Amino acid sequence: MKEIYLTRLGHRKLLEELEYLKTIKRRQFSKAIGEARSHGDISENAEYDAAKEAQGLNEKKISELEEKLASAKILDDENIPSDEVLIGATVRLKDLESGEELEYTLVSELEADYESGKISINSPIGNGLLNHKLNEAVEIKIPAGILKYQILKISRE
């Protein structure tokens, strides 16, 4: 599996999610399966089948998270240049057409959360900003057209 770059915060959140799935969710599914079994014949028990399927999906997610965490590289903020847009950078932009100012933090796909301003480096905007410098004007092609931004500020989380 290829390396996945994570911020320290993103790595911690994935570890917390993994712990939650392994402890609390596993207990919940085990209890649900036990209750469904107590209703008698499990060969035609939809409740039992649903609980077993949910348990299987949980185990799959646990396995995927463990695999991702095993190949994760945690970004060391001290060695990242502060004048270039790279993964882990928070970028303040000015839309050159509307004048609106925006702020995004570039993260891996695993950490992306558009609602909180965290965009993936694999998204059109994230990828378009990568490796650009402070005060540069950037044109980013997206499906709806071309976005034109000026990079006003680059900082680290």
pLDDT in tens, 95-124: 999 999 999 999 988 889 999 999 999 999
CATH code 3.10.50.30 region(s) in the chain: 77-156
CATH code 1.10.287.180 region(s) in the chain: 4-74
pLDDT of 79 above 60: no
**Single-letter residue type at 111:** E
According to DSSP, residue 100 is labeled -
Among 53-57, 61-65, 108-112, whose mean pLDDT is lowest?
A: 108-112
pLDDT digits (tens, 9 = 90+) for 122-144: 999 999 999 999 999 999 999 99
pLDDT of 78 above 70: no
pLDDT of 25 above 80: yes
Smallest CA-to-CA distance from 74 within 61, 88, 85, 64 is with 88
More confident residue, 80 or 133: 133
The pLDDT mean for the chain works out to 89
Cα-based torsion angle of the residue sequence 100, 106, 110, 115 in order, rounded to the nearest 10 degrees: -20
Band the pLDDT of 74: cuts 50, 70, 90. confident
- Say yes or no: domain 77-156 is CATH 3.10.50.30: yes
Which residues face 133 on adjacent strands?
84
More confident residue, 56 or 4: 56
pLDDT of 80 above 90: no
Q: So what's the pLDDT on residue 54? A: 94
Q: Which CATH number fits domain 4-74: 3.90.1150.10, 1.10.1520.10, 1.10.287.180, 1.10.3720.10?
A: 1.10.287.180
Band the pLDDT of 10: cuts 50, 70, 90. confident
